[in-house]
Structure 1
Amino acid sequence: MPPAPDTYFALALIGPAILALFSFCFLGLWAFGGTRNYILLFSAACFIYSLAAILQITYWPADVAQNTILSALLYTTSVILIGNGVLQRADQRLSTLAMILIFCAIMIPTWYFLFIEPSLIARIYIINFGCGFVFLYICMRLVNWTSGRFIDRFLYWVLVAFAFHFFIRTTATIDPDLGGGVRSFGRSVFWLALQVSLAIFGAVMALTLLAATVADMLGDMERDRDTDLLTRLLNRRGFERIAGSHMTRAGGRPISLISCDIDHFKTLNDTYGHGAGDAVLKEFGALLLNTMRGEDVIGRIGGEEFAILLSGADVEGARQFAERVRALLEGTRFESVPDTRVVTASFGVAQYRQPEPLRKLLARADVALYAAKKAGRNRCFVAGQTQ
């Protein structure tokens, strides 16, 4: 005996209710964080999908044509929003042209098979295959996630599974002889199975997006905790954490550390003011960021003290790097101080000796730094070498 109509109705509402709940969860996360706008897109996508499903389940508006066009429009909008949100999370986005093409590719055939050559089955294939192709397109643009963080890899394969489920579920469950109007279709076992499958896959997708969003926000909090607000370099805590991790994974690769200190910084502060000193620190931090390689670790570990960990660099390579930074700084003119005042820095270099801890490596570099200062400043000394 088939389920009673009330049972159909209640089960069909499970999916929309779950996604509506996720919509409010995303909205709450955005209100808490507020810096990642793609969270709003996830919230809107879940809400609009939930609204589209409810309109179909409740047969509102009652006119079949109006209901079909409105629900198709909302489903397409939801897919575009979630696709754009996932891309924005990866610093990409759907172009306006791409969004227009997606709307046309789904809405025009839907209109044709509603008014010109009415076919419920054709419309089912158009909506489902259209959504599947959009998600496959998103996956193609995010293929680099397959070698990224665990949460990115997991989200990528969930997206792939979600994309293919539209094709597999539709072709495996649709009845070619499905007849009757929209209302009889809405009471069929096929419609119930469709709603249950979308509820499951939609919940998995939304839960994965929620987990990825939380991971992103925790990462933001960790970066804020480990970042020096003035220079935007790592602070001492962040430098020690990341540099220590690089040293642990060094293997047989050489690693060197540079300790540097801006010369006569207290005098600069006393003469031109702390604002001028802060400006010098900020610009020197920018100089270091522009000079560093992708795998280097740079931090402001004290007032005017900086540390640079160079992965894959022996002591001679690190010395040359330090000399390049020293010459660049010496040739830089700062708006906050007169041109007659040349800002310089001293450098100490030490090569990592496994398995010494970071504090010992930093101490050896500091000894070389203090020797450079004692010898007259604006120079680079290497630990353990006669200068």
Structure 2
Amino acid sequence: MLHDAGLFLALVNPAIASLLALCFLFAWHHERTRPHLLQLGACYLLAAAAIGLQIAWPPRAGGGTATVAGALYLGSAVLMLRGMLARIGARPDRCAAVALPLALFGMVAWFDLAHPSLVARICILNVGVALILLTGVASLARLRTGRTVDRVLFWVYLVFTLQFLPRTLLALAPAAAHDAIVLPPAACWLWLQATLALLLLALGLALLAATAQDVIDDLRHERDTDPLTQLHSRRSLEALAARQIPPRPGESLSMLLCDLDFFKFINDNYGHSAGDAVLAQVGRVIAAGIRRRDIAARLGGEEFVVLLPDTPHEAALQLAGRLRETLEQTSMEALPGMRNVTASFGVATLRPGEDLEALLMRADHVLYAAKSNGRNCVEWEREAGLPALA
């Protein structure tokens, strides 16, 4: 009975690895901008080939099969490391990706072809794979503070990596008495096969879930981001403003509305491509001049808005003045001869009971006053009895 269960579990592992490999390759086929999916697919393919090779052609002393299987296992570990790091925009060092796997492969080949020893090969492969995967833990640690799916992925990866160490000890007991790769159908060997199957599946599912979340987040970012300026879109502004309005007791919420002066002149005389370049540069200036919690968006055309949580009217006026001066002094790369642009600003502060649309309407009226007063200036609601700070 143990033999049948062991054979079943041994066959399940390459089947799981092959299925996950196909899932990753299918995902990569539809998401070519994510090359780490190809690396992960290749990783699981090599793992399936290594396990299948050991089942179909059990290695014998000096036969070379263990060397080939060892190369497949080490290659799978390197691809797993590279795929995990590539997903977060990091790279493995050359020691982990090249030198260490080559050294481990040389030792496996030595203890297969020159001085056959199953015990040595088990130690080298299990500890070696763990060492390769552990070199990425420091870089992957940033996942612990990310989304839920990233935190789960990090811990599953860490458990998968560390299990190779106790696995070595459990595998050595029967291996010491039987110098063959196919160990006797003992309870510990069944446990090794079962845990490997579960961890292969858990890691693969965690990676696929993280990939699905990546795609969803990218689609959400594309929906909520203005492609030209990389600021928020109006839809995103409305969604984020709903979390800020009404503000918490004792806090003020202000808004800056900004409109570029004589932008039609730029489009008519320099072309729409130059106008787009100007808008993109203005977006960068605004993004660089505000706090991380502030919400900058492009409303359309040459009009921008900045929502300022926990910001009283006076502070909003000061920020508008700084942005106006920065824009006036910024050299526009797309405008030879003209070199710079100016903008008019309207500042308004949320009143009790108002929503985003009401605040936008009042800020727009103030902005119109700035346009009427000669442009390149900051206007505010004077009827509120506030001092002129800009």
TM-score, length-normalised on structure 1? 0.88
CA shift for structure 1 position 227: 2.0
For the residue of structure 2 that corresponds to 1:175, the secondary structure is helix
Question: Distance in 1 between the 2:121 and 2:352 partners?
Answer: 66
Checking the alignment, whether the CA contact within 8 Å between 2:255 and 2:308 is kept in structure 1 is yes
Residues 357 and 135 from structure 1, CA distance in 2 versus in 1: closer, same or farther, beyond 3 angstroms? farther
CA contact (8 A) 2:320 2:378 kept: yes
Q: Residues 63 and 113 of structure 1: is their aligned pair in 2 closer, same or farther, counting only changes over 3 Å?
A: closer
Aligned equivalent of 2:346:
348
**Deviation per residue, 1:9-64 (Å, 9 max, x gap):** 44312111112111111112122122111111111111111111111111178775
Q: Is the 8 A contact 2:118 2:181 kept in 1?
A: no
SS in 2 for 1:13: helix
Q: Distance in 2 between matches of 1:276 and 1:314?
A: 36
> Partners in 1 of 2:308 and 2:65 — Cα distance?
62
Shift of 1:139: 2.2
Matched residues in 1 for 2:240 and 2:42: separation? 37
Supply the RMSD in Å over aligned alpha carbons. Answer: 2.9
CA deviation profile, 1:115-172 (whole Å, cap 9, x unmatched): 5554312321222222223333322222222221111111111112212222233334
Offset at residue 314 of structure 1 (A) = 3.6
Which residue does 1:29 correspond to in 2? 27
TM-score normalised by structure 2 residue count = 0.87
**Aligned 8 A contact 1:333 1:339 in 2:** no
Q: Contact (CA 8 Å) 2:224, 2:235: kept in 1 or not?
A: yes
Residue 120 of structure 2 is matched in structure 1 by 122
Q: Which stretch has the larger CA shift, 159-168 or 49-58?
A: 159-168
**Of 182-191 and 106-115, the range deviating more from structure 2:** 182-191
Q: 1:135 to 1:244 in 2, by over 3 A?
A: farther
Q: Is the 8 A contact 2:61 2:112 kept in 1?
A: no
Task: Show the counterpart of 1:205.
Answer: 203
Contact 2:174–2:184 (Cα < 8 Å) also in 1: no
Q: Give the % identical residues.
A: 38
The structure 1 residue matched to 2:276, chosen from 275, 278, 282, is: 278
In structure 1, how many angstroms separate the alpha carbons of the residues matched to 2:54 and 2:150?
34
Write the letter of the residue equivalent to 2:132.
Answer: V
Give CA deviations for 1:162-189 in whole Å, capped at 9, x if unaligned: 1222223333464266423425527665
Work out whether residues 153 and 207 of structure 2, in 8 Å CA contact, stay in contact via their aligned partners in 1: yes
1:61-83 CA-partner distances (Å, limit 9, x unpaired): 87754211111111111111111
Letter in 2 for 1:3: H
| 8 Å Cα contact 1:179/1:185 also seen in 2 | no
Output the CA distance in 2 between the equivalents of 1:249 and 1:46: 50
Counterpart secondary structure, 2:345: strand
In structure 1, the residue matched to 2:49 is 51
Task: Tell me, yes or no, if the aligned pair for 1:174 and 1:190 is still in contact at 8 Å.
Answer: no
- Residue by residue, what CA displacement relative to the aligned partner does 1:257-303 show, whole Å, maximum 9, x if unpaired? 22111112234334444333223212212322333443332211111
Q: For structure 2, which runs of at least 5 residues remain unmatched after alignment?
A: none
**Out of 232, 240, 243, which is 1:242 matched to?**
240
Residue 266 of structure 1 corresponds to which residue in structure 2? 264
Find the partner of 1:88 among 86, 89, 97: 86
